[in-house]
Amino acid sequence: MYMAWMEPSSTTLGKTKELIKQGRERIGQTIKASGSRLCSYAEQVVFLMDHSRSPDKSTQPPTPTDNINLGPSANPNAKPTDFDFLKVIGKGSFGKVLLAKRKCDGTFYAVKVLHKKTILKKKEQNHIMAERNVLLKNVKHPFLVGLHYSFQTSEKLYFVLDYVNGGELFFHLQRERCFREPRARFYAAEVASAIGYLHSLNIIYRDLKPENILLDCQGHVVLTDFGLCKEGMEQEETTSTFCGTPEYLAPEVLKKQPYDRTVDWWCLGAVLYEMLFGLPPFYSRDVSQMYDNILHKPLHIQGSKTVAACDILQGLLHKDQKRRLGAKTDFLEIKNHVFFSPINWDDLYHKRITPPFNPNVAGPADLRHFDPEFTQEAISTSITHTPDLAASSSSASDAFLGFSYAPTEEDI
């Protein structure tokens, strides 16, 4: 149990963090409620991979015949043969993410390839579009991964995304045990800026954790994976979908009570705590015990941290969402906390602050920060070619009317 953890050795902590990673793979990164029973889904990966999740009560479950249209992100002239697919850099329940180089200009992208049949089977087509909607808005913020465009074949969907190869924050945290306060503050500030921007668009993120925070080649934060985002959340509005990642769930979510955007500030507190101390604040290998800790145990802060650090952790991790830091004026409260007094927010936003750590990647082809389990996998030939629509599954094509396109003779 984390509450009893006191200055473990580096070896012990490394083993513990590996157990956390293994445990997450077993119990899943995304959980949802089905009546009184908890259901878990696995497969968190490097880039924006897909989550099964409960729809909000206001949303009707999609049916296999729902039409999907990519709208403003669609590029009907694009096709798989526009790219050289170089390496697999992530995997999930709906498909894979690949490092790809566009042939016409040599630009590197992360291309997320999803299987329509799998999406239809899990009735996730509306959620794929909700994630796309958030991705389209991200191009306006420096610390959110952006969608450049999307296209599809009769069998697959392709999302062309920013390519980021500095590694997951979780990877670096696992390797270094914990971060010094200035480094943790820098990452927390960039993440808070991204979350504040999403909130300004009435979007709640709901799944902040070190695995969803990437570093770019310079060491700046890039927030990824918007599968659990909730759109249309006004300042005072609440929702009640049970979703998130076990270690970072806010008490009100565990209680299945209506919650608001302050769940994201709770998660920021949990991530900041983990950066400073090496483990999530209420961590236990026993998930039931961890939930009990989140609900009932007081926050334990030990060691020689500054008063400002202790105060912001107490504020962000307040169990009462109405008294939590950020409950009154949202991101403005976070910005104005004394912990962030060394930060010039305008310089931060414009990336004029030198990151405290440089991933030292040699270029786009440098994959040292990706899991070899992915990068050593062979790329399927089905990803790299445009299939004959007439020979494809009619059920998948029918379900994605307005989404699919047939290549023209010029394209072929």
Question: pLDDT confidence of 385, banded at 50, 70, 90?
Answer: confident
**410 part of a folded domain:** no
The answer to whether residue 186 scores a pLDDT higher than 90 is yes
Lowest mean pLDDT among 26-35, 159-168, 241-250, 314-323: 26-35
Residues 292 and 313 both lie in one domain: yes
Binding site residue list: 121
Residue 158 falls within a domain, yes or no?
A: yes
Share of the chain above pLDDT 70, in %: 76
Would you state the pLDDT for residue 202? 93
Whether 388 maps to a domain, the answer reads yes
Q: Are residues 261 and 315 in the same domain?
A: yes
For residues 404 and 153, is the Cβ–Cβ distance under 8 A? yes
Structural domain includes residue 407: no
Catalytic residue among 50, 82, 162, 207: 207
Which two three-digit tokens encode residue 197? Answer: 């921007």
pLDDT value of residue 10? 41
Token code pair at residue 319: 């169990």
When pLDDT is cut at 50, 70 and 90, the band that residue 44 belongs to is very low
* Binding-site annotation: residue ranges for ATP: 121
Whether the CB-CB separation of 259 and 238 falls below 8 Å is answered with yes
The mean pLDDT value for 281-305 works out to 93
Predicted confidence (pLDDT) at residue 83 exceeds the cutoff of 50 = yes
pLDDT at 177 over 50: yes
Give me the mean pLDDT over the 23-46 stretch: 35
pLDDT at 359 over 70: yes
Judge whether 387 and 404 are in contact, CB under 8 Å.
no
DSSP three-state, residue 117: helix
* Mean local confidence (pLDDT), 201-214: 93
What confidence tier does 155 reach under pLDDT thresholds 50, 70, 90? confident
| Residue 278 located in a structural domain | yes
- CATH number of the domain bearing residue 72: 3.30.200.20
Residues 167-177 have a mean pLDDT of: 90
User: pLDDT class for 85, splitting at 50, 70, 90?
Assistant: very high
State the Cα–Cα distance between residues 234 and 330, nearest whole angstrom.
12
What does 218-233 look like in DSSP terms, one character per residue? Answer: TS-EEE---TT-B---
Q: What is the pLDDT of residues 115-130, one digit of tens each?
A: 888 888 888 776 777 7
d(CA 52, CA 67): 19
User: Taking all residues of the chain, what is their mean pLDDT, rounded to a whole number?
Assistant: 80
Q: Which pLDDT belongs to residue 19? A: 55
Out of 99-108, 179-188, 218-227, 388-397, least confident range? 388-397
CA gap 95, 127 in Å, rounded = 15
Percent of the chain with pLDDT over 90: 50
Give residue 68's pLDDT.
56
Amino acid at 246: P
Of residues 315 and 64, the one with the higher pLDDT is 315
| Residues 136 and 175 placed together within one structural domain of the fold | no
Contact yes or no for 267/250 (Cβ under 8 A): yes
182 in the same domain as 284: yes
Same domain, 159 and 183: no
What's the pLDDT at 191? 98
DSSP state of 329: T
In a domain, 354, yes or no: no
Query: 97, 112 in Cβ contact below 8 A?
Result: yes
Q: Residue 12: what pLDDT?
A: 43
Residues 109, 112: Cα–Cα separation, whole Å: 9
pLDDT at 310 over 80: yes
Mean local confidence (pLDDT), 199-214:
93
Q: What is the mean pLDDT of residues 382-406?
A: 52
223 and 244 together in one domain: yes
Mean pLDDT highest for which of 8-22, 42-56, 282-296, 362-376?
282-296
> Which helix (H) or strand (E) segment is 324 a member of?
none
The whole-number pLDDT of residue 120 equals 85
Distance between CA atoms of residues 213 and 168, nearest Å: 6
pLDDT at position 18: 57
One domain for residues 192 and 290: yes
Please tell me the predicted confidence (pLDDT) of residue 388.
55
Give domain status of residue 139, yes or no. Answer: yes
Give the DSSP H or E segment for 13: helix 10-27
233, 301: one domain = yes
Q: Are residues 23 and 53 in the same domain?
A: no
Whether 230 and 152 share a structural domain = no
Distance separating alpha carbons of residues 225 and 264, to the nearest angstrom:
14
pLDDT: which is higher, 66 or 133: 133
**Dist. CA 29–CA 40, nearest whole Å:** 7
State the residue for tokens 């040699």: 362
pLDDT at 112 over 50: yes
Let me know if 105 is a catalytic residue. Answer: no
Number of domains the chain is built from: 2
Confidence of residue 20 (pLDDT cuts 50, 70, 90): low
Expressed as residue numbers, the domain containing 89 is 43-165+364-399
In a shared domain, residues 158 and 224? no
CA distance 275 to 300: 15
CATH number, residue 208 = 1.10.510.10
Identify whether 36 is part of a domain.
no
Strands 30-34, 37-41: pairing is antiparallel
Q: What is the mean pLDDT of residues 16-32?
A: 48
Tell whether 326 and 381 lie within a shared domain.
Answer: no
Residue 251 has pLDDT above 70, yes or no: yes
Residue 320 confidence (pLDDT) above 50:
yes
